[in-house]
Every structure is written in C-alpha cells, then in structure tokens.
Structure 1
Amino acid sequence: MSHHVTAIDINLLPRDPFFATPLGQVLRWALSAGRYIVIFTELIVIVSFAARFTMDRQLTDLNREIQQKKSVVLSYGELEKRVRDTQSKLANYQSLEQNTNLAEVFEKLSTVTPTAVTLNRLGITSSTVTIDGVAPSQSVFNMLIINLQLSPNFSAVTVSKVESAEKNVPGLVFTLSAQTKQADKLEAKKQPPEPVDPTTEKL
C-alpha cells in the first residue's frame, strides 16, 4: 500500500498589514522588479563605458591622421610658395627682357626716321611699331617708308592713313605700322618644318 507525502509550508510570521496599502505594494514591487531595473541600468552603464572607450580610441587615431595630413598640406603650401616665387621671378625677368627689347626697337627706329619727321604718338611692343606723325613733305614721307622697308630690323610696313595736314601746318599727317625683327623670329618658330621627301634624299 503506497503512502502519499504532502509538504506543508507553515509561515508562523504574521503578515505585515503595511504591504496591503498602496505604498506597501509599490515598495514590494520596487524590491522585486526594481532590482532587475538596477541590473539593466548597470548593464547600460557598462556598455556606454565600453563604447566611450572605443570612441576615444577612434578619436585619438583620427586626430593623429589629421595631424599627418596637416603636415602634408603644409608641405604642399611651402611648395606652392616656392612655385609662386619662381613664377614672380620669371615674370620680372620677362618684363626686364621685354623692356630691353623695346629700348632696342626704339633705337633702331630712330636710325631710320628722318629728323624732319614729327612723331605725335609712338607705340612699341615686342612685335609691332605704330607711328602717328607729320612729315613736312612727300619726299620726307617717302624716305621714311623706304628706310623702314630697307631696314633689316623691320618688315611688313603698312600705311593706314596719309592725308594733308591742317592749313596752318604744312606737310602730311600719317599713321603707319611695321613688324619688328622679334615678330619675324616668333613667326618663324610657329611655322612647322617642311616635310622631307625620302625619294629626294641622296644616298
């Protein structure tokens, strides 16, 4: 014959009536479920601390990379400064060379211009010369044109205007232009070399 054993729990402590009140029920809930909230909060704090540590490490690496790239950029800035200084020096050299060429052109022009010619305006560049002036006679004007054409320093002489001067001023008022020897050299450099026919080459 089998016997059934029944376990009976007897709580001899009296039940506190405080826990039957609303405040007591809230306190009971805080003691039971609140500990899980505390544990969850602590987990969040630990995860946040770990994430902050990772972010600080990434921020340190990023700052180090920025400093390296900043050094590279600063080195490029120094190189750019040197390039600009070199360009400025080249511009000064070119300006000085151009001024020297203009002085040479003016000197060569004065040797072919008759003394009787009056120059009202003279324009000189590295490639052309433009003259506005007055010649006292047709023969003096013709001498100026011939001198320019015969000079090895000028070419392509063009007369754009020639007319009688005012009544009180005898002679001819003229405007002419000519290319300088410098322009001819530049034009020759631009022209490509003529092709060579291989059949005409001598063996």
Structure 2
Amino acid sequence: MPARIRNVNLLPPTEFEMSFGGRFLKWAVTTGRYIIILTELVVILAFLSRFKLDYELSVLSSKIEGKVSLLEANSPIEREFKSKQARLEAVKKILTKRISASETMDSIAVKTPPEVKLTEMTINGNEVEIDANSFSEKEMGEMIAALDGDKRWSSVEISSITQGTEKVIKFRLNLKR
C-alpha cells in the first residue's frame, strides 16, 4: 500500500497570517491574480476580434461603393423614367377630362330638341355654358326642362335671352354640377 504524502510546512505560521488582515490579504492576492488573468483574456479577445471586424467593415464598404456606383450609373435612367411617368399622369388627367367633356356634350345633345341649334358650348370644370338659337319658345322650354330634370346638373340657369332677326330666340344657359 502506498504511503500517504504529507505536506510539510517548515515555516511556522506567523501571527499576521492568522489575523483577519492577513487572511484577507492572502485572499486578495490569490483572487486578484485570477481577475488579472481574466481581464487579459478579455483584452486579447477584443484585440483579435478587431481584425475580424475590420475585415467585415472593408467588405461592407466595398459592397456599398459598388451599389453607389450602380445607383449613380442608373440615375439618368431613373430621372428619365420619373419624367415620363409625370407626363403620363398629365396625359391621363387630360384624357379623363376629355372623356368627361364628350360625355357632357353627348348628354346635352340628347336633351336638345331638333329645332334648337347650339352655337357655342364652354366646359370649365363643373360648369357648362351653352349659347343656342331656337325658333320657338316651346322648344327652348323643353330643352331647359329636360336639362333641369337631369340629375347631373345641380342648377340650370338662363343667363340671357334676346330676340334675334327672323324670329330667332338667342339664349344662354349656365349649367352647374
């Protein structure tokens, strides 16, 4: 059977080592060593991670530069595209108004009796101004009544009536939506 190994301390413990201050000092020195070693490991890891982070930064910077140059190269095309898009919007608005104007003219033409001749029509947004000639008051009244009965118009007003030559009645109507 092997013999037990004993620790032999040839220096007897001093009174300071046995006191609270001595034991605290011994603990602080031993624990301090471990804290210093741990701190050095953290510093070394931070130093080494710096190389990795620098590499990632350079890769990302080069990617960004590539994308910036691509965007700058496509900038004239994008400006031209936006310009054409704005033109298309303007044309779309004009065509929408034109369709609205043709519908308005068609609806007025349907309500106009054959003896009434339209001489001028002005369409301005939600208002329409009509100049017309009629040979009889009856036909003029029928047209006004038909337009007044149309739900598209909120008001139908006669702005002027004059007697022309050869029994022609000239009148002007204002229609509002």
C-alpha deviation, 1:125, in angstroms: 4.1
**Is residue 171 of structure 1 aligned with residue 165 of structure 2?**
no
> Where do 1:102-117 residues align within 5 Å?
102-117=101-116
* AA in 2 matched with 1:131: I
> Where do 1:1-203 residues align within 5 Å?
75-166=74-165, 169-180=166-177
Distance 2:169 2:145 in 1: 16
Contact 1:122 1:130 survives alignment (8 Å): yes
C-alpha deviation, 1:153, in angstroms: 2.0
C-alpha deviation, 1:126, in angstroms: 4.3
C-alpha deviation, 1:88, in angstroms: 0.7
Q: Which residues of structure 2 form unaligned runs of 5+? A: 1-67
Contact 1:136 1:170 survives alignment (8 Å): yes
Distance 2:136 2:127 in 1: 25
What do residues 149-201 of structure 1 show as CA deviations (whole Å, max 9, x unaligned)?
101122211211101112xx213111111024xxxxxxxxxxxxxxxxxxxxx
Normalization by structure 1: what TM-score?
0.48
C-alpha deviation, 1:71, in angstroms: 7.9
Contact 1:108 1:153 survives alignment (8 Å): no
SS across alignment from 2:167: coil
Normalization by structure 2: what TM-score?
0.55
* AA in 2 matched with 1:111: V
Q: Which residues of structure 1 form unaligned runs of 5+? A: 1-68, 181-203
SS across alignment from 2:151: coil
Contact 1:138 1:171 survives alignment (8 Å): no
Aligned CA RMSD, in angstroms, stands at 2.4
Structure with more helix by fraction: 2
* AA in 2 matched with 1:172: I
Aligned residues: 111
C-alpha deviation, 1:124, in angstroms: 2.8
What do residues 8-56 of structure 1 show as CA deviations (whole Å, max 9, x unaligned)?
xxxxxxxxxxxxxxxxxxxxxxxxxxxxxxxxxxxxxxxxxxxxxxxxx
Cα distance change of structure 1 residues 70 and 170 upon mapping to structure 2, 3 Å threshold? farther
Distance 1:103 1:126 in 2: 13
Cα distance change of structure 1 residues 74 and 128 upon mapping to structure 2, 3 Å threshold? farther
| Percent of aligned positions that are identical | 17
